[in-house]
Amino acid sequence: MTSRRPYHHGDLRAELLSRAEETLRERGAGALSLRELARDIGVSPAAPSRHFRTKQALLDALALTGFERLADVIAGSQQGAGASFPERLDAAARAYVDFAMTNAALLDLMFSVKHSADAAEVLGGAVHRWSDLLLGVIAEGQREGQVRSGPMERVALPVFAALHGYAGLAVSGFLPPEAMADGLTDVIASTLRGCAPDPAQG
Q: What is the pLDDT of residues 103-135, one digit of tens each?
A: 999 999 998 778 888 888 899 999 999 999 999
Task: From 164, 141, 147, select the one nearest 88 (Cα to Cα).
Answer: 141
Task: From 24, 33, 22, 25, select the one nearest 55 (Cα to Cα).
Answer: 33
Q: What is the pLDDT of residues 7-33, one digit of tens each?
A: 544 589 999 999 999 999 999 888 998
Q: Which domains does the chain have, with CATH numbers?
A: 1-53 (1.10.10), 55-201 (1.10.357.10)
pTM: 0.86
If DSSP codes are grouped into helix, strand and coil, which group holds residue 40? helix
Between the CA of residue 151 and those of 6, 113, 190, what are the distances in Å? 55, 30, 20
Fill in the amino acid letter for 87. E
Nearby residues of 146 by Cβ (< 8 Å), 6 or more positions away: 84, 85, 86, 195, 196, 197
